[in-house]
Each structure stands twice: as C-alpha cells, then as structure tokens.
Chain A
Amino acid sequence: MKKKSFINLKNVLLVATISLFVVMYAIGSILYPSFLSLDVFLNLFIDNSFLMVTAVGMTFAILSGGIDLSVGSVIGLTTMVSAHLLEKAHMNPFLVMAIVLVMGASFGTLMGMMIHFFKLHPFIVTLGGLFLARGLCYVISTDTINITNEVYSSIASFRFYLTETAFINVNVILFILITILGVYLAHYTKFGRTVYAIGGNEQSAILMGLPVGRTKVLIYTFSGFCSALSGIIFTFYMLSGYALHAKAMETDAIAAAVIGGTLLTGGYGYIIGTMFGVLILGTFQTLIMFQGTLSAWWTRIVYGVLVLIFCLFQQVFEANKGKIKLETQDEDKKDTGTGTKTEPATVDKGEPVSA
C-alpha cells in the first residue's frame, strides 16, 4: 500500500512539471502566434542543450543525496582548455574533445574519491572544485580566446533543415542522446538502482551489499563528464573560450532538477522530469525574449519563484513523508544504521503516519 502511494506521488510531481511546461507554452502561443512553431520549439533544445547535459549529471548527484557545485566552473574550464589547445597549441580538434572529456571526468573522479574515501561533505568538496576549475581558467588566460578552428566552426554551423526555417543541429542531437543515456542509466542499470538506493538510505544500501563507494565515485565522474560534454556544446555555441563562461550555471542546473521534481534529499526523481525542468526554464527565457520589454533580472526572480513553488508543492504532497525521511537520515547518521525507519518519526509526530 505504502509503496504504491509513493509511486503515485512521484507521478504527480512529474505530471505537475509537464503540465506547467504545456501551460507555459500555451500561454506563449496565445500571446504570440509565432510562438507555436517548430522553429521556436526546436530553439528550446538548441539553446538549452548545454544546460540539459549538465542537469543530467547534476540529477544523478542529487538523486544520491549529494550535490555538484563545480559544474559551471568545469564548463568554463572546458571552453578555456578547448580554446587554448585549438588556437595556441593547434592540436587536432577531435583529440581536444577527447582530452577535455577525460579532464572533466577525472576532475569528477577526484572529487568523488575525496567524498567517498575521506567521508567529506559533497557540498564543500565540490565547492573546492568550483574554486579550482574557475581559478584554472584564469591561469590559462583572463581574456576571451576566439576559436577559428575549421572543424569546430563547421560542427557549430552544421544544420539539418526539417522545414525551410526549422533545423536540427548538434546541440539537439546531444540533448536527445544525453536524455536517453540518463534515462537508461537511471532506470535500466545496476548503477542507477544503486544511486536511488544511496539517496533513499545510504546505510541500508551498504547493508544490502551494494557497491556504495564505487557508485559514489562514479556519480561524480559522470557529473564531471557531463559538465565537460556540456562545455564542448557551449564551446560550439559561443565559439570562444572565456573564464567567465557559464558562470553560476550550477544554480540553473539545480533549479532545473528541482523544478523537474527531484528531491534534494535524494532518492526520488526522474531524468525526464529534469528535461521538462530545463524546457520550462528555456520557455520562460523565450517568453521574455518575445515580450521584449522585461528586464533580464526578471529571469532570475522567476527562476527563484518557480523553485519555491515546486518545493512547496513537493512539501504539500509529502507533508508527512518528507519529515520521516529527513529525520530518519539524521537518526541514521548518529545510530550508524541501527535505528529503524519509522520509529523516530512516530516519536516526533506523536501519531501514526497515515499511509
């Protein structure tokens, strides 16, 4: 019984996210007739591809109960390293892509290892990563490096026209590929199930004999890889490397995951939800562009309000369950796994939790 209600709850959150996206798009279409066109719709994927790729990695980190604050900086570092290797060292562009992907993944691996082996808080470790990656950007150069490499610019300008004006480019393809990869990893692999188990209750996951340590390191490796891939897309998008590229992208990625229905306590969430979270943020930006007179700072304010609404929404729908989760986690850390799941909450609430 209880389990069934959980599944329903998750669906409710996902349905809410999707309906918000539909409603926002519908409002846009009513206000601006040209909003409801394939161009605008595809542009959502083109302009938010790098956000989606980062957000997938972020979703895994959050699902496991952790967080990765370093993603924006790693994107910045990727653009910077790519630009430097292409323009200053004149390396083979495909080799450059391979190098930055390995760099991002190993950056994540190192952070994951610190989190796992030294039992450090993901927040503070990835905060260190944020400083380090951004700082390394400045070490390479404080100026913008423009990319003139032929391969890069031809990939960036590659367009496959569906109609006369609507087209698909590399961004859209990567957007879809990373979404499929994310869904596959989350729901059809041992790795994904272990991530959910860690987020649900790490102690239980250990007691069940799941490879918690390895999975934790892999989560941050994957997140680092996603950030580097996102950085490559960003490089195509901007055709330059700059130390301030993708600044504060981590908040956008976290916002997308939260709006998509992922709980920051870990254990619940869908990659598809994150995708709609990204699309909602993108739709709003497009709306502001169409509107034309609203200032850019309204974007930030509305992002905040959206996160607030979705958090309250989550809270309302699991008024009781959320509390159980939070307090059980606290209890587990103290008791090293001896406490049972419902006991502390019952003590705290003073009444049995209705299923």
Chain B
Amino acid sequence: MKKKSTVDNLLRSKNFWALTALALLLLFNLIFTKGFFHIEIKDGHLFGSLIDILNRAAPMIIISIGMTLVIATKGIDISVGSTVAITGAVVAMLIGGNLKIVDGVQTYISQVPMSIAIIAALAVATLIGLWNGFLITRMGMQPIIATLILMVAGRGVAQLLTNGQIITIYYKPFFFIGNGFLFGLPFSLFIVAVIVGGTILLMRKTALGMFIESVGINPVAARVSGINSKNLMLMIYAFCGFCAGVAALLVTSNVKSADGIHAGELFELDAILAVAIGGTSLAGGKFFLLGSVIGALIIQTLKTTIYSIGVPPEINLVVEAFVVFIVMLIQSEEFRKIVFRVKAVRE
C-alpha cells in the first residue's frame, strides 16, 4: 500500500510541473492577450484561440503518444517527421483530385476511393514503423541509428514520390479530417480522443503498460521473466509509425497539400520535447501518456502565445530552447538536490 502511494506521489509531482507550466502560460495569456479565452459559436461551431490551439496541437499529441511508448522502452524514433512527409505524399498521390464535369457541374473526384487511400497511407506508415522495429529488434541496431536512416532517407523518398513538388489535393471530403467540425468541435479532437483514450485503456487496464515499462527499466530481466521483448518492441515501433501516419492525415488534410520537404519538419524534436515535458524519462521505464498530451499542449500554447502577442515568430525557437532547458533542469535529480541544498542552507 505504501509503495503505491509513493508512486502516485511521483506521478502527481511529474504531472504537477507540466500542469503548472501550462497554467502559467494560460495565466500569462489571460493578462496579456486580449480575447484569448473568448470562445464564440459561429455556424454551430466553436471558435476561439483555445479551440485553435487544441486543433493545431492534435497531430503533435498523436505523435507524442507513440513516441512516449517508444521512449518508455528506452528507445527513440527520430524518423516520425519523415514518416509524416512520406504518408502525406502517399495520401495526396492516391486522392489527388481530378476535375470532372457531372451534370454540367464542376466537381472534383478522388483517384481512388478515399477510404482506400487512407487505409493505404496508414498501412505505409505502419510499415515504416515495422521497418524501424525490424532493424532494432532483429538486426540489433540502436534505436537512434535505425531511425536515423529513415530520417535521412525519408524526405528523399517523399520528394521522389511527389517528384519534388508540392501536391495539392482537390477533394472536399478529405478536408473534413483536418478542418471539419463534429458536434461543434474540431473533428481532429475526436481522433485524438480515440487514440489517447484507447492507448491509455490498453496500457493501464491490461498488463501491456507494465510489460513496456519493465522492458525499458531492465530488458534482460524482462526477457528472463518471460516477456517477448523483441515482439513487444516491434509492435511499439509499428504503433509509433501508425501514430505518425494519423498525424500526417491531419496535417495533409489541414493544409490541403503534401510537401515532401517541409511536411512534419522538426516534428521528431517537438514530439520528444513533449514527452520530456510530460515527465517520461528519456532513459526509459515509467511513462506518462497524459503528461505527454499536456507537453504537446504546452508547446502549441507557447507557439500560439508568441504569435498572438506580436513577437516575431522567429523568437519561437529561442523560447522553445529555453523551455527545453528549464524542463530538463526541473526533471534533473542533481539540479533538484542543488536547489534543495541551497534552500536548506538558507533556512
């Protein structure tokens, strides 16, 4: 009983920091940004900065869910940005959109049915994840180098698919995924809810989450105790690829085009940052899915805040850098020790 409460405390304290940061950001906006919390209903849809942040953060939340699990197994996946670019290129190629005149009305139809295009794109993304997992578990490569291969080559592949150009999509139903509204809320939020909810249920209501943590804490011990860590990790990398694929659908649909060079740029870094802010250690082990969600929200809120207070968006990277450093220091045991020692001396 006692052990559980300490674990609970730890979890609370980890999320506590992230939540405090988010709260401070929102407080800052409450004071300095006019109409930040203003939400109005237009055409039956909710509109406002907060809704906008949620909608824009959706791809990052989904990727950071996959990334959290990968990092929990002591791994890392730096190919997610490239995966987004490739998946986006695939879906844009398959849907495309041809102008057809039906009954004297100009309409655009997709080249292949949209459902098939989406399934194919997600399959490609999952295959990319499986490939990473294969290299890591079967060939024994280090996660960072195995995924580095696709990080380097992936954008080349995406450009090869799009022939180096930006493919624009002309097919209205596809735009619904990233721009549509359901029950007054952006449709992307429902996708996020399904993926986050499903993953949390799967991890916390079955033994899967514990298996992943044990693989991350001590792979040898996990294997000796009967966990098929190789297949488990393979599945996790496939899932991370799948998550990147879903995010790619949202991004591609939102901007209505696929760009082999810039789609998903720096996503891998943002996702890792979101996971780190959320309290999951990069050394693997315990993971906090909700923490990563909060982390992704913090990053997006920060970006929107910078835009809305009129600071040149270029400063964004500097601010993000300081967030990285602050989060790292707060999470560092050594830093805490030093801070507490200073406090103790003062008292």
Using CB atoms and an 8 Å cutoff, list the residues of chain A in contact with chain B. Answer: 67, 114, 117-121, 123-125, 127-132, 134-136, 138-139, 142, 243, 251, 254-255, 258, 264-265, 295-301, 303-305, 307-308, 311-312, 315, 319, 322-323, 326-327, 330-331, 333-334, 344, 347-348
Give min CB distance, A77 to chain B, whole Å.
Answer: 11
Proximity bits, B312-331, A CB within 8 Å = 1, else 0: 10111111111011001100
Q: Which residue of B lies closest to A300 (CB)?
A: B156
Docked CA distance A268–B283 (Å) = 22
Asked if A135 and B316 sit within 8 Å, CB to CB, the answer is yes
Residues of chain A lying within 8 A (CB to CB) of residue B320: 131, 135
Residues of chain A lying within 8 A (CB to CB) of residue B283: 121, 333
Proximity bits, B191-228, A CB within 8 Å = 1, else 0: 00000000000000000000000000111100110000
Given contacts A123-B144, A303-B152, contact A297 B164 (CB under 8 A): yes
Asked if A128 and B141 sit within 8 Å, CB to CB, the answer is no
Give min CB distance, B216 to chain A, whole Å.
Answer: 10
Give min CB distance, A294 to chain B, whole Å.
Answer: 11
Proximity bits, B278-302, A CB within 8 Å = 1, else 0: 0000110000000000000000000
Asked if A124 and B328 sit within 8 Å, CB to CB, the answer is yes
Asked if B334 and A118 sit within 8 Å, CB to CB, the answer is yes
Could you list 7 examples of A-B contacts with CB < 8 Å? A124-B282, A132-B322, A264-B142, A300-B152, A304-B149, A311-B139, A347-B224
Docked CA distance A243–B273 (Å) = 22
Q: Which residue of A lies closest to B326 (CB)?
A: A128
Residues of chain A lying within 8 A (CB to CB) of residue B151: 251
Is B153 positioned at the interface, with any CB of A under 8 Å from its CB? yes
Asked if B314 and A139 sit within 8 Å, CB to CB, the answer is yes
| Count of residues in B whose CB is under 8 Å from the partner chain | 54
Docked CA distance A305–B149 (Å) = 7
Q: Which residue of A lies closest to B322 (CB)?
A: A132
Asked if A300 and B332 sit within 8 Å, CB to CB, the answer is no
Using CB atoms and an 8 Å cutoff, list the residues of chain B in contact with chain A. Answer: 74, 76, 135, 139-142, 144-146, 148-157, 159-160, 164, 217-220, 223-224, 260, 269, 272-273, 276, 282-283, 312, 314-322, 324-325, 328-329, 332-335
| Chain B binding surface, main DSSP class | helix
Looking at the complex, which one of A129, A130, A243, A304 makes contact with B152 (CB distance below 8 Å)?
Answer: A304
Docked CA distance A134–B320 (Å) = 11
Given contacts A135-B314, A138-B315, A298-B156, contact A127 B324 (CB under 8 A): yes
Give min CB distance, A296 to chain B, whole Å.
Answer: 8
Residues of chain B lying within 8 A (CB to CB) of residue A254: 148
Docked CA distance A130–B154 (Å) = 21
Residues of chain A lying within 8 A (CB to CB) of residue B317: 131-132, 134-135, 138
Q: Which residue of B lies closest to A118 (CB)?
A: B332
Residues of chain A lying within 8 A (CB to CB) of residue B282: 121, 123-124
Docked CA distance A114–B314 (Å) = 25
Q: Given A121-B282, A327-B220, A348-B220, 7 more contacts at CB 8 Å? A: A124-B276, A128-B325, A134-B317, A139-B315, A251-B152, A298-B160, A311-B135
Docked CA distance A124–B153 (Å) = 22
Those 3 A-B pairs whose CB atoms lie nearest each other, nearest first: A304-B153, A135-B317, A300-B156
Docked CA distance A298–B152 (Å) = 11
Asked if B220 and A331 sit within 8 Å, CB to CB, the answer is yes
Given contacts A303-B153, A304-B149, contact A265 B142 (CB under 8 A): yes
Residues of chain A lying within 8 A (CB to CB) of residue B329: 114, 118
Give min CB distance, B334 to chain A, whole Å.
Answer: 5
Docked CA distance A308–B146 (Å) = 8
Asked if A300 and B223 sit within 8 Å, CB to CB, the answer is no
Residues of chain B lying within 8 A (CB to CB) of residue A265: 142
Docked CA distance A287–B319 (Å) = 41
Give min CB distance, A6 to chain B, whole Å.
Answer: 17
Given contacts A119-B333, A312-B139, contact A307 B273 (CB under 8 A): no
Give min CB distance, A60 to chain B, whole Å.
Answer: 17
Asked if A295 and B159 sit within 8 Å, CB to CB, the answer is yes
Asked if A301 and B328 sit within 8 Å, CB to CB, the answer is no
Residues of chain B lying within 8 A (CB to CB) of residue A124: 272-273, 276, 282, 324, 328
Residues of chain B lying within 8 A (CB to CB) of residue A344: 220
Residues of chain B lying within 8 A (CB to CB) of residue A333: 283
Asked if A135 and B318 sit within 8 Å, CB to CB, the answer is yes
Asked if B145 and A258 sit within 8 Å, CB to CB, the answer is yes
Looking at the complex, which one of A121, A255, A311 makes contact with B146 (CB distance below 8 Å)?
Answer: A311
Q: Which residue of B lies closest to A252 (CB)?
A: B152
Asked if B321 and A297 sit within 8 Å, CB to CB, the answer is no
Docked CA distance A142–B95 (Å) = 36
Residues of chain A lying within 8 A (CB to CB) of residue B146: 311
Most buried by B among A119, A125, A297: A297
Give min CB distance, B240 to chain A, whole Å.
Answer: 17
Q: Which residue of A lies closest to B335 (CB)?
A: A118
Asked if A307 and B152 sit within 8 Å, CB to CB, the answer is yes
Asked if A264 and B328 sit within 8 Å, CB to CB, the answer is no
Asked if A131 and B164 sit within 8 Å, CB to CB, the answer is no
Give min CB distance, A143 to chain B, whole Å.
Answer: 11
Asked if B149 and A308 sit within 8 Å, CB to CB, the answer is yes
